[in-house]
Amino acid sequence: MNFDLDQIEDIKKNGIDTETAREILDLDEVHYFEKIMPLAKQLRHEAFGNEVSFCTITNAKSGACIEDCGFCAQSANYKQAPSPVYPLMSTEKILEKAKEAESIGGTEFSIVTSGRGMNKQRELDTIVDAITQIRQQTDLETCASLGLMQREDLQKLKDAGMIHYHHNIETARSYFPNVVTSHSWEEEVETVKLAKEMGFEVCCGGIMGMGENKDQRIEFIFQLKEIDPDSIPLNFLNPRPGTPMAHLHDLTPLDCLKLISVIRLAMPEKELFICGGKEVNLQHYQDKIYDAGASGAMIGNYLTTQGRSPQQELALAEKLGFKPVGPHRKVRSKEDKSKEDKFKVSYA
Ligand code: SF4
């Protein structure tokens, strides 16, 4: 591999191809740190300067889900998987969680619910109220992750002023049936596509380390590139006891850094958040995520696992000279906001 910083203009314009991505994933530690990390760091810097974003989530409704996502302790199919089960929080409780998130340094707040999608109007009304109140009472950017969605339900969230919609495609299309059988990869993409068409800033990513091979990791990254979300949340599997993936420990800390860099080099200008599983998978390399190309991280707790303390994340960002800002600043600064034209998914 003959990468050097002189190639940065070409990579900035086009991103790397799948062949180069594969070469990076096969690199040893010395060559990765010498050749790839500096390039990823430079691209990150060109796109985001000294800014980082921190998103936070609240698990507003937990467990008792009829879907069978193999990584998820909230599925009712995995009775041995310990996970809290509770109905949707009240508007007041969600608002309280949002204020807590803002007080620990979050710049974006996402309301997450378990389940295939929103099938109770009463629950959607609670979330719409919560979005309205959060916008009135905090400076947080609002987001929700409510599963597969219909246009009319998304419209209600949009009318309440919600900016982002989060929905993951989880993994490569070819590997998806090994992870989920109760719904399809195409259904996931349809929700992402709909949210994009409706003008939400869309956050779409998935989970690495679920038993997929390197080719499938690359397939997933380049399928994300086609989908063209505004930001990418990257999770690394933190295997949950009692789930079908409880035995998987597929990623080394170096694998995680290389995956972050491949995404940065494939999509030089995208927001890239490192989310669930970063503590257990990145271990001693956790502080290197920004050098590897990340533009932000999730802080606070994840859905069913605990993250590093927000104070530690903020202290690290400060030590590295970063300034926390709201996500999607690049997207918002563009004059042309007609993102519908950019959506050219060829998965059909
Ligand atoms: S990921 Fe979501 S849809 Fe899948 S089992 Fe968990 S809660 Fe249900």
Domain boundaries, the chain: 13-322
- Separation of 118 CA from ligand 1 center, angstroms? 12
Measured from the CB, is residue 69 less than 6 Å from ligand 1? yes
Backbone angles phi, psi at 94, to 5 degrees: -65, -40
Higher pLDDT, 104 or 338: 104
CA 39 to ligand 1 centroid distance, Å: 36
Copy the structure tokens of residue 277: 């599983």
Ligand 1 centroid – CA 72 distance (Å) = 6
**Is the predicted pLDDT of residue 335 greater than 60, yes or no?**
no
**Cα 225 to ligand 1 centre (Å):** 24
Nearest atom (ligand 1) to Cα of 72: 6
* Residue among 143, 131, 136 nearest 107 (CA): 143
For residues 303 and 51, which has the higher predicted lDDT (pLDDT)?
51
Q: What spacing in Å lies between the alpha carbon of 339 and ligand 1's midpoint?
A: 28
Structure-model confidence comparison of residues 102 and 256, the more confident one = 256
- Residues 292 and 13: their CA atoms lie apart, in Å, by 19
Is the C-beta atom of 116 inside 6 A of ligand 1?
yes
Which is nearest to 252 in space by CA: 274, 275, 283, 276? Answer: 283
At 25, the pLDDT band (50, 70, 90 cuts) reads very high
Is the beta carbon of 330 within 6 A of some atom in ligand 1?
Answer: no
Q: Please, which pLDDT band fits residue 306 given cuts at 50, 70 and 90?
A: low
Amino acid 28: pLDDT? 95
What percent of the chain lies above the pLDDT cut of 70? 89
Fold for 13-322, please state it: TIM Barrel (3.20.20)
Q: Check if 299 has its Cβ closer than 6 Å to any atom of ligand 1.
A: no
pLDDT tier, 199 (very low <50, low <70, confident <90, very high otherwise): very high
Percent of the chain scored above 90 by pLDDT? 68
Name the least confident of 26-40, 63-77, 138-152, 309-323.
309-323
pLDDT the model gives residue 259: 98
Average pLDDT, the chain: 87
Is pLDDT above 80 for 305?
A: no
Instruction: Find the 146 Cα to ligand 1 centroid distance in Å.
Output: 10
Residue 216, ligand 1, Cβ within 6 A: no
CA of 211 from ligand 1 middle (Å) equals 18
Q: Cα dihedral sign for 121, 125, 127, 131?
A: positive
Does the C-beta of 303 come closer than 6 Å to ligand 1?
no
| Amino acid at the residue 15 | G
Per DSSP, helices labelled H in 6-120 are 8-14, 18-26, 29-31, 37-48, 91-103
Number of H helices, E strands in the chain: 14, 10
65 lines ligand 1 (CB under 6 A): yes
Q: Is 114 in the pocket of ligand 1 (CB under 6 A)?
A: yes
Average pLDDT, integer, range 338-342? 34
